[in-house]
Each structure stands twice: as structure tokens, then as C-alpha cells.
Amino acid sequence: MEHRLSLQKPRRPALSMGFKAIAIFVMAVCVVPYLGVLAAAFSGSFETLSHLADTVLGRYTMTTLILVTLVMAGSAFIGAGAAWLVTMTDFPGRRWIEIALALPLAFPAYVLAYGYTHVLDHPGILQTLLRDMTGWGPRDYWFPEIRSLGGAAAMLTLVLYPYVYLLARAAFAAQGASTFLAARVLGRSPFIAFMHVSLPMARPAIASGVMLVAMETIADFGTVAYFGVQTFAVGIYQSWFNLADRAAAAQLALGLLSFALLLVMLERYSRGNASYASGRRNAPLQRLTLSKSQRLGAMVFCLTPILLGVVLPVIALSVMALGSEQDLLSPRYLGFIRNSLTLAGIAAVLTVLAALILGTLHRVSTSRLTGTSLYLARIGYAVPGGVIAVGLLVPFAAFDNALDAWMRSTFDISTGLLFTGSIWLLISAYLIRFLAAAIGAYEGGIASVAPNMDAAARTLGQDMPGLVRRIHMPLLRTSLLTAGLIVFVDVMKELPATLIMRPFNYDTLAVQAYRLASDERLEGAAVPSLVIAAIGLIPVILLCRKIGTGRA
């Protein structure tokens, strides 16, 4: 025994160093965009920023704050309300409604924006029909403007409320019935018991979901850009492309990055105080018996976001696609699909591997290094893609230009742009942006693996790679597959970083949909939008299956 242990001692540090080297590399990749934004913001001229401050910076700030507030409030109201109804009450269709409520996660907000604009805009189907039936002119009636701040908030709310719904549903299900029944015995109505007992106990979970909604809202570009809503994300893109001022884009990105980091701290605070959110389920859950009118109200409340967030957009986009001239099987469109699948596939594999390595290293040997690497990896989810794009392009463009100048002066050879505009730099942006999602899926799966299994494997001579390959990966197959699918779909939907960083003439489905919609060719934009949504349904359906098998 002593001889075998002495043989293992020199092997373990060397193998751990390999994992630590990868963790340090991933940590460095995650830090680069933040340092790049910081350096670029203070190294350039502030003239453009001063001009923006005198003209539109106040509008960017106020519009972003109002948009975030509206989407947070709407998502909390729909998500928490629907979660309580499907968990604590019984009404017709509840079993499939509780699954369908998660489906809007598959749709990017800009896809809904294209569909609703085709239906509700002034030249759209509904207003045209209204004018034909009444004989009114354009100024004879009032109709809500879809291309507005309120319209953007509605689109984002319809696709983001499932974040709150899923977390709130789990919190309500974990509470059990004792506390709620105690309030009912004391004479409280179901609504008062919900407001004073169930809702406060689920508040940390709801707060975490609302913070995720806020992060996604500030990261959105496609919806606000198409609706003409002036947010920080739009300002960064316009400064980069329209004004060709990299420093101003970096300065705006720094402001948005600061707001994103504030949201991260708030999310961690809400999650860190969640110990009182769930209690022991010390009594069987007995669903409330609703009156006929209450059952109807519950059905309407839960069906409305499903109809508005899934059914109507799919119908509208399908009708638009049938009337378009876009051929999904043409070589051009097959190229868009191939580019999207290539980027999403490579990014998903690398992101899941990075999450697996970082998570395993922190599980096996918890230290300041592993904790810091996980913290930096999680920050990326709160940082908009445009900020990451600016933070990566500025330093790597400077490096490419410096290297090319040196090679020209020394060897009379031009190296061109080695990193800027490459597929690998774009994939690095995806990894930074979505690594937190993969880590979350990994941690959800590894929580069910007892630490004793790790200790037994190490006692039997397994090194860290062997532990991952022979123990963790077989046990975490479902969790890792879920993580890969989540990252895959997120990359398929991602727009701002792809617009800024994609290689020349390397367009994706998301870019094609945005380009067609920007040219007001909404029927053509419906085709790539439907493909993105169809692919996005895959992980959502898998998630819904888990909801269905775990329902009360």
C-alpha cells in the first residue's frame, strides 16, 4: 500500500497542473474583454463621448433604465403569477399549460418583433383591415405604436418571463402546504395567503429570475435596434459602425459593463440570501379548489402569454414565410445554416468542456484560483455581446496591426489580420458570453454525485482526467447534453457580437434575419427567424419534459 501511494504522489500535482493551466487560460480569456474595454475607454479621445453626452447619452441611460424596469415588472408579474397558479391550484388544461409556459424561451425577442410588426404596424394586416372596414384615413384613429419603447418591452417580456416562471415554480413546489394552510385556517383568503405567505417565501427565487431578465434585457440589440429604441446597446453599435469611433464605443461599453456588474452583484446577493425561500414539504400539497369563474380566470391568465409569445408569432411568421421569395434550400441559405450550425456546434463543445474542467477543478481542490475562475466565468452572462465584441476587437486589432507593422519593417512580409475577423475570436466571445449557462447546468448535475464517489475513484488510482472521463462524464451525460444544447441555441440566437465580429462574408441566420428586417423585408426575415425558433425548441422541449416528470 505504501509503495502504491508513493507512486501516485508525483503524478497528481502534474495532472492537476494541466487542469489549473486550462483554468488560468479560460480565466484570462474571460478577463481580456473587460480589460480591453477599460483600456480603450481611457486611451482614446473623449470628444465623441462629450458630443454624445450633450445629445443622446441621457436618452440612452433613461431609455435603458425604463426598458429594464418595464421588462422586470412584467416578467415578475406573469412568471410568478403563472407559477403559483399551476403549482397551487387546479384548472382545466393545467398539466400541459405548465409545460407550454416555458416554450417562449425558444424565441429570440427580435423574432417576435418581426412577426408583430407585420401584424400591428401601420401598413400591417390589422390596421389595413381596420381601414378597409371603416373607411378611415391614417389620422382618423389611434392605434398603439408597436415600434416604441413599450413595444420593445412587451416583446422582451413575452420571451423572458419563463426565467421567473421556472425558478418561482420550483420555489412554490418546495414550500409544501403547511404554511399556506396555516394562513387559510387563520381566515386569510387564498389571494391574501399568497401575497403574505407564499410570495415572500419565494421572493429570493423570483428575485434571481428577475435579475436574469434584467441581464438579458440590457444585452438585447436586435429588438431595440429594429424598433428604433435608443439604448446603450444600440449606441455602442452605432458608435462602432456609423461613427467609426472605437474609443466612443468602448466608453459606452464601459458604462454598460458597470451596470451589468451591478446586476451580477444583486443577483448573487439575492441568491445568497435564499435560505428561507424553501422549507420542508411537511404536508402533502393540496391544490386549491377554484370556482368556475376563478378557473376561467386562471386559464386566461396562463394561456395569454402562451398565445402571445408562441402561437400568434408562429402563425404570423409562417404566413409571412409562405409569401416570401426566400428559398431555404438554395445554396445561399444552406450557407447561412451551415455557418450558424458550425459556430454553434464548436462554441457549444468548447464551452461545455471549459465548464466541465472549471467545475471539476473547483470540486476536487477548492482554492482561491478555482473560485475566482468560476466567478469570472459567470460574469460573462451579464455582459452584452456588443460589450464583449468591443473588448476583444480593440486589443486584438492593436496586436494584429503592431505585428503586421513589425513584420513589414523587419522582413517585408505582411501578416494581415491573424485574430481580428477570425472565427476563433468570435467563438471566444460566445464562450465568454455563455459559459455561465454551461456551468449552471454542470453544477445542477454534479450536486447529485456524492463526494464519496470521487474519493473512492482517487483511492483506486484514478487521476483527475480519469475521474472526469470514467466517473463524472457518464453520470453527467444528461446535464452536459443539456448544457451543450442551451449554449448551442443561445449562439444560434446571438446577434450583436456576431454582427460586429463575424468574418467577412460569413453571415448566419440571425444576421440574415436582421439584415432583411432592417430593409423592411419582413416576409423574407420570417424564413431564417422560423429556423432559429425551430432549433431553439429542442432544449426547451427537453426542459419541459423534466418539468412534466417532476410536477406535483
User: What CA–CA distance (Å, rounded) separates 106 from 306?
Assistant: 12
CA dihedral 476, 478, 483, 486 (to 10 degrees): 180
414 and 336 inside one domain: yes
- pLDDT for 27: 84
User: What CA–CA distance (Å, rounded) separates 165 from 209?
Assistant: 8
Under 8 Å between Cβ of 316 and 126? no
258 and 334 inside one domain: no
- pLDDT category, 6, cuts 50, 70, 90? very low
298 and 400 inside one domain: no
Under 8 Å between Cβ of 348 and 488? yes
Instruction: Evaluate whether residue 8 is within a structural domain.
Output: no
User: What CA–CA distance (Å, rounded) separates 386 from 69?
Assistant: 21
366 and 378 inside one domain: yes
CATH number for the domain that contains residue 473: 1.10.3720.10
Nearest to 154 by CA among 229, 32, 54, 71: 71
The angle formed by the CA atoms of residues 327, 333 and 339, to the nearest 5 degrees, is 165
- 448 three-state secondary structure: coil
Task: Characterize 492-531 residue by residue with b for buried, 16 or more Cβ atoms within 10 angstroms of its Cβ, and e for exposed.
Answer: bbbbbbbbbbbeeebbbbbbbbbebbeeeebbbbbbbbbb
Query: Model confidence over 461-518: pLDDT tens digits?
Result: 667 777 777 777 787 777 788 788 888 988 988 888 898 888 888 899 999 999 888 8
User: What CA–CA distance (Å, rounded) separates 365 from 376?
Assistant: 18
SS3 breakdown of the chain: % helix, strand, coil, rounded to 5?
Answer: 80, 0, 20
Tally of domains in the chain? 2
- pLDDT for 304: 96
Among candidate residues 302, 322, 342, the one where a domain is terminated: 322
Instruction: Evaluate whether residue 65 is within a structural domain.
Output: yes
- pLDDT category, 302, cuts 50, 70, 90? very high
Task: Label residue 217 left, alpha or beta by phi (over 0 means left) and psi (-120 to 50 means alpha).
Answer: alpha
Instruction: Evaluate whether residue 187 is within a structural domain.
Output: yes
- pLDDT for 313: 92
Query: Model confidence over 64-80: pLDDT tens digits?
Result: 999 999 999 999 999 99
User: What CA–CA distance (Å, rounded) separates 60 from 259?
Assistant: 13
Average pLDDT over residues 403-410: 87
Instruction: Evaluate whether residue 417 is within a structural domain.
Output: yes
- pLDDT category, 301, cuts 50, 70, 90? very high
Give the amino acid at 330: S
pLDDT at 161 exceeding the cut of 90: yes
Under 8 Å between Cβ of 104 and 154? no
Grid coordinates given for 12: 497528481
Spell out the residues 6+ positions from residue 100 whose beta carbon is closer than 8 angstroms to its own: 306, 310, 544
What is the value of pTM for the model shown?
0.82
Query: Model confidence over 258-289: pLDDT tens digits?
Result: 887 777 777 666 555 544 444 444 555 567 77
Element housing 278 (H / E): none
Instruction: Evaluate whether residue 420 is within a structural domain.
Output: yes
Instruction: Evaluate whether residue 135 is within a structural domain.
Output: yes
Phi, psi (rounded to 5 degrees) for 329: -100, 5
Grid coordinates given for 246: 472605437
Among candidate residues 284, 300, 322, the one where a domain is terminated: 322
Average pLDDT over residues 82-99: 88
Spell out the residues 6+ positions from residue 33 whose beta carbon is closer than 8 angstroms to its own: 383, 387, 388, 390, 391, 392, 429, 432
Give the amino acid at 475: L
Phi, psi (rounded to 5 degrees) for 288: -70, 140
504 and 417 inside one domain: yes
336 and 472 inside one domain: yes
pLDDT at 549 exceeding the cut of 60: no
pLDDT at 426 exceeding the cut of 50: yes
- pLDDT category, 13, cuts 50, 70, 90? very low
* Residues spanned by the domain of 331: 324-551
- 136 three-state secondary structure: coil
- pLDDT for 178: 61
Grid coordinates given for 154: 412587451
Distances (CA, A) of 40 to 35, 103, 122, 232: 8, 40, 42, 17
Instruction: Evaluate whether residue 3 is within a structural domain.
Output: no
Query: Model confidence over 14-46: pLDDT tens digits?
Result: 446 777 787 788 888 888 888 888 887 777 667
- pLDDT category, 445, cuts 50, 70, 90? confident
Query: Model confidence over 227-269: pLDDT tens digits?
Result: 989 888 888 888 877 776 777 788 888 888 888 777 777 766 6
- pLDDT for 31: 87
pLDDT at 5 exceeding the cut of 80: no
First to last CA, the chain: 51
Query: Model confidence over 167-194: pLDDT tens digits?
Result: 888 777 776 556 666 666 666 666 677 6
185 and 218 inside one domain: yes
Cell numbers 456551468: residue = 439
Nearest to 420 by CA among 407, 405, 401: 401
The angle formed by the CA atoms of residues 259, 261 and 266, to the nearest 5 degrees, is 95
User: What CA–CA distance (Å, rounded) separates 435 from 429?
Assistant: 10
Per cent of the chain over pLDDT 70 is 85
307 and 439 inside one domain: no
349 and 265 inside one domain: no
- pLDDT for 437: 82
309 and 352 inside one domain: no
- pLDDT for 277: 43
240 and 328 inside one domain: no
Choice between 442 and 345, residue whose per-residue pLDDT is larger:
345
- pLDDT for 283: 52
User: What CA–CA distance (Å, rounded) separates 81 from 194?
Assistant: 10
User: What CA–CA distance (Å, rounded) separates 378 from 19?
Assistant: 19
The angle formed by the CA atoms of residues 148, 74 and 197, to the nearest 5 degrees, is 170
- pLDDT for 21: 81
Q: What is the mean pLDDT of the chain?
A: 81
- pLDDT for 184: 64
Instruction: Evaluate whether residue 173 is within a structural domain.
Output: yes
pLDDT at 342 exceeding the cut of 90: yes
Nearest to 109 by CA among 58, 172, 151, 46: 151
111 and 150 inside one domain: yes
Helices 246-272 + 57-88 axis angle, to 10? 30
